[in-house]
Structure 1
Amino acid sequence: MNNDIVVLTAFFAVIALVIAVSLIAYLKIKNANSFFLAERKAKWYLILGSLMASTISGAAFFGMQAYFYNLGASVFWILLGCSWGFFIMCFFVGPKLRRFGMFTIPEYLAERFDSPLLKPVFSLLVSIWMVILMGTLYVQGGLLFENMFGLNYATSIFLIGLITIVLTIFGGMVAVLNSDFIAMFILLIVTVIGFPIIMNAAGGWGAIVSTVQVQQPDFFTNTSNVGFTAALSWLIIWSLGYLGHPGFLTRFYTAENEREIVKAGIGISVLYLPFWIFIFMIATAAKVLYPSLTDTETIWMVSLYDLAPSIIIGLGMAAIFVGILSSVNTWLLTAATSLTRDIYQTIINPQASEKNVLFCSKTLIFLLSVLAIPIGIWRPGYIIEMMNIAYAIAGSAGGVVILLSMYYKGMTKQGAWSGIIAGASIAILWRLGTWSGLITTNIDPIIPTLLITLILIIVVSKLTEPSEKTIAMYDRLQSSTVKSIKNKVS
């Protein structure tokens, strides 16, 4: 793709802004609390920006546009699942986590169920999710640099990995929150600007709909050609996957108070689905403009380079890049924080100094990023397919357990363990079975996994007794709101 001076100037100006934010954040880091949780002073708009940018990232402009292009309106089942997951997180889970006052999700689960071993085990599971998700992000970055600068795909991924390692190590959570807010702003603005350009080039929405209906008659139906079972599976995978995603949930620990989390939830309710409607319409227009596109994950880049002014091209490419950065640094920091707090400080070196804790975290940021690079180079499937696998594990092993832990008083330590082990094992083994041909692909693994996990948690909890501390932790969750209100009044 041809890059004139205006394209490059716009692109690198945005990158320079993100780097400057990270450097400023580095200067503000006072201690581990600053690095991991931004001193728990994050306002609602920073939490909103971090959640939005992390979930949109390059997936919107690569993976999701390709899915819309190929499958049609049925892909909205994924986004409805994401929206439902965000709704539950921001209004029913996030405020409770913030008031509970931990650092990581494994730490919360260990306290809630009086089971110290949950911390290292769930932390390792979290790290596996993060590495898989980072692999999908490196695919996005590789596609961007390969197409924009003509670099070798593997070289592009190594370069993306190096940049994200440096920014995350230096900036910590303060950099993540602020750079994510900038990323959200750019992602939304560029989409709104690019939308009419692509629509007009394709002849307007009415002409686009008429043409696409001839090409693919079921394109605008609820389930298109994927079927109801697959659509329902998407809804469940992504709603529970988001709910069980520590990368999102740990954002709530950074909030100044629970009200900031609710405000962020209101913001997501206003912005999230309208943004995806724009993305759907752009992908639909691409079916008219490029009916024989070979790599459908390059729709956004091809469209902008063909149709948009140079400054919009530069900003559009920068939007993808900062979106990728926002997600990678979020996942990296989440996994590294969990491994540091829940394994290094808990098992390996309980007396570690703050300096050693920060060094360990930064070392793990480097190692986790290196582990994700081969997945990006391998590129085993479409971006959204790879993300489906990660979110299926997160939803079945994490989402169900976390949600029930807050609203099922009778849930015991044994019930939590059975849910985590069964959810993760069945989700992984069932997926391997479908790949090998031993299990039919007509049923998505999330459906049987979810049912088995729910039944196991309930049955095992009924057969065992919750400890006094487990009940006390549950009561603490439920009474936090009342105590918080009383404290504010007094």
Structure 2
Amino acid sequence: MDNIMIYIGVGFVFFIMIVSGIISYRQQTGLTSFYIAGRGSPWYLITGSLFASGVSGATFLGVMAWFYEFGAGTLWINVGIAWSYFILCFLIGPKLRRFAQLTVSDYLSERFDSPLLRPVFSIIVSVWMVILLGSLYVQGGLLFTELFGLSYVASTIVTVGIVVIFTVFGGMMIILNTDFVGMFILIAALVITMPFLINAADDWGNVTTEILSESPDYFTSTGELSILMAFSWFFIWLFGYLGNPGYLTRFYAAINTREIIKAGIAIALIYLPVMLLFFISAIYGRYLFPDIHDPEMLWITYTFEYAPPIVVGMAMAGLFMAVLTSATSWLLAGASSLGRDIYQKIINRDVSERRMLMVTKLMVLLLAALSVPIGIARPAYILELMNLAYLIAGSGGGLIILMSMFYRGMTRQAAWAGLIAAAVMAITGTILQFAGVLTEEIDPMIPTVLATFVIVIIVSKLGEPNEKMTSVYDQMLRKSESDQAKKHVS
């Protein structure tokens, strides 16, 4: 009987998800619709997509595990993400929308008048998307193993199959719609399980006293982390989000720049409060399960232990919704970049829209397949994989994109020098840490970002941007005529 109620709960959420997917598929009208939802997305869809993609299953599993182990210091990740949302929605997003293209590589290529930047950045994007996707497959694999008793490998492959189906059939339209619905399901999945968890524990005072007796620094500003490590996590996730096309392409989809600003205000009101609820849940979870074998299973474990079966089913389906919303976003961003920036711009410039759509969907299948071995092998904890991906994304891409929008004198040579130097330093630093040569107290992100910033400034001072570079920069400063017209109408 319990299993039946669990499956009813799962089925209810999956039904909502499938209906949303069918509606999205029917709304798709062509390549622009597949890539950026026809540039017709209002603020609430942008908000839902940023939130759902940012929370993902990594929060329910990975972040909860680090809250469990490292305490309040883990909040530096969330503070970094919150700052990235601010920069994305108020500083970067409106400028990208005024630029009005399809991919981030489009922007970099035009901004620095460098056609070669397009395929190079596209390949870099694909590498870190494969790593991110692998971490998401781990989340789906753990969930389906627990929920249906499948082997981990089978669970991972099922996850991949569902992600690919949703991405191929709906594109950006299905991502925005399911992310919006997913935002409410994710919050509900957390909130409906909390009362059962709290009810199973002692009062708050006894819970915190017990934890402090084992970990005196658990509730301090850096928790069980060193100050340097806490700041490293902050910068990894701050710059990592800024360099992630999975977020940046959302802004191409907005109706206008004002909708992006509204989305920034909305997500500022909900993101950190929800993260605090995750932290509180982890505190109670640590008290009730002090010797849990795998901390990444904490949320799943206490939900199965204390919640009624139908709530378990709804919560687990909500967790899968978290995995799906992020995986489809990253998969589409990588596939769109490969399809447009390499195939269309280099291999076949005269490709038809229909063929371009088919090629992009084939790229979805390729990236999904390349990331499967990472998901099956599970070489590290979920957040360790994501830290590595965001280190690559943020140390080069995030900083270069941010500087390109606020430093008019930045040159083509500086952009190339920054990207190459960041990639070399980030990868080298990570390898040396794994080998035990460098201390783990200082993540490679901090020295890489600082060095890249200095390199960009110095190289830019040695030359001057040409007229095309400065015209693209100036174009993003001006409000488009359509934005001004909408303002007068309202």
Q: TM > 0.5 between the two?
A: yes
In structure 2, the CA distance between the partners of 1:254 and 1:483, relative to structure 1 (3 Å rule), is: closer
Deviation string, structure 1 residues 270-315 (Cα, Å, up to 9, x no partner): 1000101110011110111111100111111111111111221111
1:451, distance to aligned residue in structure 2 (A): 1.2
**CA apart distance, 1:23:** 2.2
Aligned residue pair count: 489
The match for 1:117 is: 116
Aligned-partner Cα distance in 2 for 1:471–1:300:
50
Which TM-score applies when normalising by structure 1? 0.97
Tell me if structure 1 keeps the 8 A contact 2:226–2:441.
no
Structure 2: gaps of 5 or more residues: none
- SS of 1:405's partner is helix
CA contact (8 A) 2:243 2:399 kept: yes
Deviation at 1:3, TM superposition (A): 5.1
Query: How much has 1:423 moved relative to structure 2?
Result: 1.2
Q: Secondary structure at the match of 1:256?
A: coil
Matching residue's letter, 2:10? F
Aligned-partner residue type, residue 127 of structure 2:
I
Q: Residues of 2 paired with 1:121 and 1:165: CA distance?
A: 25
In the aligned structure 2, how far is the partner of 1:487 from the partner of 1:150? Answer: 54
Q: Give 1:225 shift.
A: 2.5
Match in the other structure for 1:354 = 353
- In structure 2, what is the Cα distance between the partners aligned to 1:488 and 1:8? 49
TM superposition shift of 1:489? 4.1
Residues 73-92 of structure 1 aligned to structure 2 (within 5 Å) = 73-92=72-91
The structural deviation recorded for 1:205 is 2.1
**2:164 and 2:365 in contact (8 A); partners too:** yes
Matched, 1:233 2:232: yes
What is the 5 A alignment of 1:281-296?
A: 281-296=280-295
SS in 2 for 1:4: helix
Query: Which residue matches 1:450?
Result: 449
The 10-residue stretch of structure 1 (22-31 or 252-261) with the greater mean CA deviation from structure 2: 22-31
Between the aligned partners of 1:190 and 1:132, the Cα distance in structure 2 is 26
Rounded to whole Å, the distance in 2 between the matches of 1:191 and 1:29 is: 32
Distance 1:379 1:431 in 2: 18
**Cross-structure match for 2:193:** 194
Q: How does 1:204-353 map to 2 (within 5 A)?
A: 204-353=203-352
Partner amino acid, structure 1, of 2:120: V
Assess, with a 3 A threshold, how the Cα gap between structure 1 residues 482 and 362 changes in structure 2: closer, same or farther: closer
Shift of 1:439: 2.6
* Preserved contact between residue 105 and residue 119 of structure 2 (Cα < 8 Å): yes
1:435-487 Cα offsets, whole Å, 9 max, x none, are: 12233323210111011100110011011121111111111122236994378
1:19/1:167 contact within 8 Å kept = no
Letter of the 2:276 counterpart: I
- Give the equivalent residue in structure 1 for 2:365: 366
Q: In the aligned structure 2, how far is the partner of 1:486 from the partner of 1:305? A: 54
Deviations 1:151-210 (A, max 9, x none): 111111011001111111011111111111111111112212212221121123222111
Cα displacement (A) at 1:319:
0.7
Distance 1:482-1:21 versus aligned 2 partners, 3 A rule: closer
**Equivalents in 2 of 1:100, 1:204: separation in Å?**
54
The residue that corresponds to 1:464 in the other structure is 463
d(CA) in 2 for partners of 1:487 and 1:175?
26
Q: Which residue type is aligned with residue 101 of structure 1? A: A
**What are the Cα deviations for residues 375-418 of structure 1, in whole angstroms up to 9, with x where unaligned?**
01111111111111111111111111111111101100111111
Give the Cα separation in 1 of the matches to 2:219 and 2:265.
29
**2:256·2:483 contact (CA, 8 Å) conserved in 1?**
no
CA contact (8 A) 1:3 1:148 kept: no
> Aligned pair in 2 of structure 1 residues 338, 206: CA closer, same or farther (>3 Å)?
same
Deviation at 1:85, TM superposition (A): 0.5
* Match of residue 6 from structure 2: 7
Q: Which residue does the alignment assign to 2:167?
A: 168
Please name the residue that 2:182 is paired with.
183
For 2:99, the equivalent position in structure 1 comes to 100
Q: Distance in 2 between matches of 1:487 and 1:86?
A: 25
Distance in 1 (CA, whole Å) between partners of 2:70 and 2:436 is: 23
Tell me if structure 1 keeps the 8 A contact 2:93–2:257: yes
Residue 115 of structure 2 aligns to a residue whose secondary structure is: coil
User: Compared with structure 1, are the counterparts of its residues 358 and 118 closer, same or farther at alpha carbon in structure 2 (3 Å cutoff)?
Assistant: same
Distance 2:487 2:226 in 1: 51
Q: CA RMSD for the aligned pairs?
A: 1.5
One-letter amino acid of the counterpart of residue 297, structure 1: E
Spell out, residue by residue over 1:62-117, the C-alpha distance to the aligned partner (whole angstroms, 9 max, x if none): 00000000110000111100000111000111011111101000100111111111
Distance in 2 separating the partners of 1:487 and 1:43 = 13
**2:64 alignment partner in structure 1:** 65
TM-score (norm 2): 0.97
Q: Which amino acid aligns with 2:399?
A: V
Q: Do 1:53 and 1:184's aligned partners in 2 also have CA atoms closer than 8 Å?
A: yes
* 8 A contact 2:68–2:283 mirrored in 1: yes
What do the CA deviations read for 1:90-147 (whole angstroms, capped 9, x no partner)?
A: 0111011111101000100111111111111101111111110001100000100111
Aligned-partner SS, 2:437 = coil
How far off is 1:16 after superposition? 2.4
Alignment partners' CA distance in 1, 2:13 and 2:440: 43
C-alpha separation between the residues in 2 aligned to 1:209 and 1:187?
A: 26
Match of 2:5, SS state, is helix
- Structure 2: distance between partners of 1:150 and 1:3: 15
